[in-house]
Structure 1
């Protein structure tokens, strides 16, 4: 009898397995019936998934036995949708509610120090801005001291290193999607601006980098101007990219157990593995209480073998990050490709606590190792104990880039859409120096780049480290300018120089407003190359400016609001939204439309805080 039951059960299961898969289509909308782009639609086990397009539409093929779909989207409550006989599904998502009791209002009749879980921040008198407090949080960020306006007659020259890191934007997105404002020092405006691609002219001729400039009106400070500087790195077709010698250095310590850490990390690196070619080689080093080689250098064609090694990683133990870095560099050096791309890719939450762990010691170690021609990129994961300050330092000193992976879409952006720029450097130690003409410029300030500022004399010092640009990378910088001949509260109060008398009327005879100088090194050279570009005093209205200028200005304005900058002027969330909406362009991946959604979330958080103040 028992045998017959087993046979019948086997027949039943076999018949069920033979049922054809179902192909489902549908649309995901919010409660106002607006389409939700980039929502993830998946089976309950997550093995089959699809992403909605800009119209909220999706198509997914699931096993016949599937009973429900899981739908997840940034800023919305996740939803489980039961499957019926219908193959076309209409799904409505509820907005993510802001968590109650998280808003702490800080306002007094005199300045005071307000302690948050991130840092101690000074709150000026009468300031009703909210401080969104993260509970049980040990995240660390470098202090950012916002750059003020400089008098062009006394300090006409300004110098900084380029920055193609984008970690700050995805980190800010993580906070906002959780219904919380990010800590002030987590907001690096240049990284928010550079998160987005811009359509600058391609580099031609002898230099791998091209410069494009536009001058327009400041959207938030009437009478002031914005100088928009766009740099475009030469794009190398994927088939022409050199072979890669990559070492994945993966943190598997106990702090990496969360779903948005090691599990997300595995998914992210599998996307990168899918991009590898036969001529590429990859090794995997893992570190926790000790470091070890998980996978020796393996050809990119052995994707199953590489992915299996990733799947077998488990989190546990303390964090011997310094030991792991040394082992990863040794592997990369032992299998060095003289004409290839040699790089260590560190994936971590930055919580090093065993061995070489101080920021200074790690920085010196990385600076020494980069002399071997091996770059270091850092991919940050997780929250709660995230060490942004350490991750940023390691990437900067390792001649690599730094990204924060908050979801699988961000991993796809880094490792699929921007594969060449993420891994293949076309110009290293790129520095920019600008000399302003006082006849046209009274004062200026660089928006962001506080951690990338250089001394003017360091522009000529080839030993001074600076930023790298990868294949197809764009870099954007924005200066706010007080034009000559106007009075403004932002003008710094300084005495005239006694021994530096310059006839401004003579300087005014030229139409040149400024000159931009660029220094860079070829990836395999240690001597820099110099070129420059004079820029005329020719301004356009904001409406007549390019989509590049208008969208970058919207992002910069949003950063000023999040930082509650003393230079935000008349900035507002409504102005940011209107400006950004008019400069979406093609937006094929939906990044710019997602930006507007984030602005609306921040606006809602601030509005709720203002209501609490009035009550």
Structure 2
């Protein structure tokens, strides 16, 4: 059995807390130190495209709802983006994405929306709409919720505990190597007063570094660089040790977060998200949040990582290349770390005199019972500073009717004062455009991205849409928003997906 641990680092710098004693006996043989290309954001070559043992969950597809029978639509906010990155990995490897891997809202929320900043409170609400270019008799409504920005210099100091999967599966496709490169970026980006702790797990979990000030970045990076992979996968024990470490350093004036970096496979101890979270539930309730970072494809468990993040009051991202790591750990670091709203929910009340029926596109696993919108004991979504949340509805409207289409309500808890806030905005006929092409470019992008996801997941409601239909609009939007590299990449991905054999 190969033991996982860190290669012996240099002596700890003055002021750094001691590393916990090595567990498990004999230290491993020294491993070569990789070149430190901290600023490299180039593409990391994928592992071979033989995807064995990938685990995704089918949450179904929302139906059309008769507005006279049920005029309320309620869901928890979601800022995850992993599903889009996973699908990108499939397509770049020349493979068709698994339909069960597609969560439409994570495709849409991957992209910037250019919503204005809220004038007051945590959120601003934007609503617009236009005729659907993909069907004859429906309209698309976009509900956009923009979170308040927090300047980087106003972010709270953070205590981060990296729980790193160093099991044997992390050798495949250099997964651990990508994690190490991503963490170098993050460590270099943190402020000197942030703290970093490190836990690893393979057959067993090990505390490798007690929380240490990020000003000792060379020392911390040496420990990260010295990790190697081997053994089984005891995610339960690794997370348990990570939460215990975070709890010992819990300070209400600081951000305290556990960050799990893994391919999601667990085969020792408790292996399901519910069972694992039961072991650490009290830490979550005390304010230790969990973010999950997925790597690799083949022997990959999306279900575990997505549900752990949901239940751990955090977010889930998938890193398929170093550019994605840069986006999450450098460009959007404050958004990733600092929460501006807890248990955030959205409820849309449709006017049945104007709306015949409606369908929420995505958010199938974020559904909240209508009666629980104002039940503040029901768990919902956590939103980071500057994050935007977008929900698209497909509408069937009565002809020649006037009046409001809907009212959008947002409810959340302030994480610092614990006060409950509620904000609302009306959606009227004047907010929709008669032609899709007359809507804003970002609206057209959201609708096109959502339809791409619908086709990928083989949605009943997209059965008459072809990849060529999506490609036409993706190319148009790509030209309109050519300054946005994510949008131009999206247009290329649609083109590549069009050329993949779909059987």
TM-score (normalised: structure 2): 0.88
Q: 1:456 to 1:580 in 2, by over 3 A?
A: same
Distance 1:258 1:412 in 2: 22
Contact 1:286 1:292 in 2 (8 A): yes
Kindly state the Cα deviation for residue 369 of structure 1 after the two structures are TM-superposed. 2.1
2:54 to 117, 121, 139: 139
Distance 1:357 1:410 in 2: 27
Contact 1:254 1:318 in 2 (8 A): yes
Contact 1:363 1:393 in 2 (8 A): no
Q: Secondary structure at the match of 2:88?
A: helix
Kindly state the Cα deviation for residue 557 of structure 1 after the two structures are TM-superposed. 1.1
Q: Tell me, which stretches of 5 or more residues in structure 2 are unaligned?
A: 1-33
Question: How do 1:443-462 and structure 2 match up within 5 A?
Answer: 443-462=357-376
Distance 2:302 2:362 in 1: 17
Q: 1:50 to 1:283 in 2, by over 3 A?
A: closer
- 581-590 or 379-388: bigger deviation: 581-590
Q: What do residues 64-116 of structure 1 show as CA deviations (whole Å, max 9, x unaligned)?
A: xxxxxxx96889xx9xxxxxxxxxxxxxxxxxxxx9xxxxxxxxxxxxxxxxx
Q: What do residues 201-257 of structure 1 show as CA deviations (whole Å, max 9, x unaligned)?
A: 10121x111110001111111121001011111111101111001101101111111
Distance 1:215 1:74 in 2: 40
Q: 1:367 to 1:72 in 2, by over 3 A?
A: closer
Answer yes or no: is 1:357 the counterpart of 2:281.
no
Q: Tell me, which stretches of 5 or more residues in structure 1 are unaligned?
A: 1-44, 53-70, 79-98, 100-133, 487-507, 611-615
Contact 1:209 1:233 in 2 (8 A): yes
Q: Tell me: higher relative CO, structure 1 or 2? Use CA pairs within 8 A at least 6 residues apart.
A: 2
Q: Report what 2:488 is aligned to.
A: 593
Q: Report what 2:115 is aligned to.
A: 200
Distance 1:171 1:358 in 2: 21
1:167 to 75, 78, 82: 82
Kindly state the Cα deviation for residue 49 of structure 1 after the two structures are TM-superposed. 9.3
Q: 1:158 to 1:563 in 2, by over 3 A?
A: same
Question: How do 1:191-590 and structure 2 match up within 5 A?
Answer: 191-205=106-120, 207-485=121-399, 511-538=403-430, 539-540=432-433, 541-568=435-462, 570-584=464-478, 588=483, 590=485
Contact 1:260 1:381 in 2 (8 A): no
Distance 1:525 1:394 in 2: 26
Kindly state the Cα deviation for residue 543 of structure 1 after the two structures are TM-superposed. 1.6
Kindly state the Cα deviation for residue 47 of structure 1 after the two structures are TM-superposed. 6.0
Q: Secondary structure at the match of 1:229?
A: strand
Distance 1:246 1:51 in 2: 23
Q: Secondary structure at the match of 2:172?
A: coil
Kindly state the Cα deviation for residue 310 of structure 1 after the two structures are TM-superposed. 0.2
Contact 2:94 2:500 in 1 (8 A): yes
Distance 1:50 1:421 in 2: 21
When Rg is computed on C-alpha atoms for both structures, the one with the higher figure is 1
Q: Secondary structure at the match of 1:191?
A: helix
Contact 1:462 1:526 in 2 (8 A): no
Distance 1:277 1:355 in 2: 36
Contact 2:129 2:141 in 1 (8 A): yes
- 464-473 or 523-532: bigger deviation: 523-532
Q: Secondary structure at the match of 1:533?
A: strand
Distance 2:273 2:35 in 1: 38
Q: Secondary structure at the match of 1:464?
A: coil
Distance 1:596 1:531 in 2: 35
Aligned residues: 467
TM-score (normalised: structure 1): 0.73
Identify the structure with the greater helix proportion.
2
Q: What do residues 450-473 of structure 1 show as CA deviations (whole Å, max 9, x unaligned)?
A: 111111112121111111111111
Question: How do 1:59-208 and structure 2 match up within 5 A?
Answer: 137-205=52-120, 207-208=121-122
Q: What do residues 336-387 of structure 1 show as CA deviations (whole Å, max 9, x unaligned)?
A: 1211111000001111122232332123335432111111000011111111
Distance 1:342 1:360 in 2: 22
Distance 2:285 2:196 in 1: 21
CA RMSD of aligned residues (A): 2.3
Q: Report what 2:26 is aligned to.
A: none
Contact 1:220 1:569 in 2 (8 A): no
Q: Secondary structure at the match of 1:567?
A: helix
Q: Secondary structure at the match of 1:258?
A: helix
Contact 1:440 1:537 in 2 (8 A): no
Q: 1:395 to 1:577 in 2, by over 3 A?
A: same
